[in-house]
Structures are given as C-alpha cells and as structure tokens.
Chain A
C-alpha cells in the first residue's frame, strides 16, 4: 500500500456543511490523489450532488472520476431494504470510502487494511 494517502473526515468536520460544500470538499481532496473516508457517509441528496459535481470536474487525461465503497459491504448487512439499512435513522451510519477512479481497486483487494487503518484513527 505504498504511496496511498488517506484523509478521514470526521462527523464534526462535516456536519455544518451543505450538500454542495460536502461534495466540493470531497472532490477537492480526491482530485489531489487522496482517498477520503467519511465517518458517517452521505445522504442520498448529497450523493446525487456528488455525482453531478464529479461529472463537471472530469477532465480527460487528468481526472476520470471517483469510485465509492461503503463498509460493511451491503450484502453482509441484515434487515429490510438495502437503502433503509444503509441510511435509515434507526441504523448506524456506514463508513464510506471515496477515491480517484482506478485507485480504489488497491483498497478493494485488501479491505482489512481500511478497517485496521480506521480503528487506529478512531478510538
């Protein structure tokens, strides 16, 4: 995992921002080549904003977009519908990892790396 930079955005740092500001913050970090971990994930509205903003930032040869992973993997979560599980009020928020396209692969191969990294950061 040499050379992979990760930035954890805590709920405290995120909570005061609008959907637009959140998407802009995430994208500015990801565009610099850093992987972002969001402690509390994004709401559907924020995700829509992030997709739209990503499309306007894509520059052929420079930035080809983002990849997103959420942990734990949805298939491993039990309950009702996927999304109510993901974001329903009565459910714990899920860790969301967002990185430059084609870099997330490195992480996907080794998901334990993320959980190890995160638990070393959050006590």
Chain B
C-alpha cells in the first residue's frame, strides 16, 4: 500500500511496455482455473487454484502475477491474471451435497460462493483492465449468465476475448459461440490437452497489449 505500492507501479510503467490486469470470467465449470493453471505453467509462474468438477470450487480469487506472454510474432504483454469464481445468479447448497459433501460444509461453501461472486462482480467495476470470458463449447452459449456478463463487460468498455473451451469434447460447437458473439474474438481451445492454446496466447497479446 501507499508509497511502496506506488513506486512499484511507477517502476512497472517504466520497465514494462504495459502491465494489465486480466480477469478470467465465465460460468462455473467452464475451465477458468484450468486455464489459469496452464497459463502459469506455460509462462513460468505458479498458481494455487484448484481444478474440480464441483461447481464453485474457486470461491475466492486466484492470482498469477507479473507474467510476460509472448506471441508468435514477438510482441509481448505483461499481465496479472485473476482467476475468478464463476458468476451465477443462483447458488443452491443442495447442489454441493450431490457431490457427497455434508450439509454443514455445503452451506459453508454456498456462503463462500455467494461472497466470491459478489467480489468478482466488484472487481469488474474497479480492478480489471480486460477480460478473458470462458465458455464451455459443449454448452448453450445463450445461457442467460453469458449474455448478461458480456453485456456488463461491454458496458464498461473493457476489451474482451472469448475462449471457447473443451473443444476436445464430442459435443463441442465453438462455431455456435462465434455466431452468438460475432462482435468479439472467439478462440476455440482445449485447456485439458492444450489444443490451439498458442492461438489464445497470440490473441491475448493482440487484445490486451
């Protein structure tokens, strides 16, 4: 905070061409933590996010700081990546119990999840310079939360890149996402096996530089 922090900011401004804070947003289970983990690994950092089939496993932010991502054309961007809890309009503790989690723990998780979502919405207003919006390409892109979130991000004039994840799944249809959101770059990827991940890095540099 205070003086120390502002010195760091100034130094960052001097030494890095651009230092931006990017939030990974999207519905629960789209693969946001998997992407944050992969980005950290590919660019020599660590992240502590937990990848899980249980929705709302990420209930507070995971951060990967000071990453330099270099595109195929040699351009680069220095970023902080914030892995956010998935945004939803409902959180039902009974859903956690379907994964064999006890009632008390399920209620505690639900409470943390609601706080996490509120926090993620708050960052979008204050602390984020750009968004990687992640969707599961095997799900309906017109899911209400996607439409609302893309609209909210657009209304704040934040640059957004859509990652159409899980293209390794037989039902994946990234084309459907492209048709739904033609106003934004859509990059089909698989975070699980790394398919086309380099195209995502190129797009990150191009969009957030």
By a beta-carbon cutoff of 8 Å, the part of chain A in contact with chain B is 43-45, 47-48, 51-52, 54-56, 58, 60-61, 64-70, 73-75, 80-84, 86-87, 101-102
Contact = CB atoms under 8 A, between A and B. Distances in A.
Pick from B90, B111, B148, B154 the residue with the most CB of A within 10 Å: B90
B115 interface: yes
A51 B142 contact: no
Interface residues of B, number: 35
A48 to B, nearest CB: 5
29 contacts: A44-B151, A45-B152, A45-B155, A47-B151, A47-B152, A48-B125, A51-B89, A51-B117, A51-B148, A52-B121, A52-B122, A54-B89, A55-B91, A55-B114, A56-B118, A58-B90, A58-B114, A60-B107, A61-B107, A64-B93, A65-B89, A65-B90, A65-B91, A68-B148, A83-B147, A83-B154, A84-B183, A86-B147, A87-B151
Interface in B44-103: 87-94
Contacts of B118: 52, 55-56
A82 B89 CA distance: 20
A83 B184 CA distance: 11
Contact of A69 (B144, B154, B184): B144
A17 B12 CA distance: 43
Nearest to A75: B142
B2 interface: no
A60 B103 CA distance: 10
A81 B186 CA distance: 13
B52 to A, nearest CB: 20
A64 B151 contact: no
Contacts of A58: 90-91, 110, 114
A76 to B, nearest CB: 10
A75 B180 contact: yes
Contacts of A80: 182-183
A101 B92 contact: yes
Nearest to B146: A82
B181 interface: yes
B93 A61 contact: yes
B150 interface: yes
B182 A81 contact: yes
Contacts of A73: 142
B35 to A, nearest CB: 22
Contact of B91 (A61, A64, A70, A86): A64
B124 interface: yes
Interface in B139-185: 142, 144, 147-148, 150-152, 154-156, 180-184
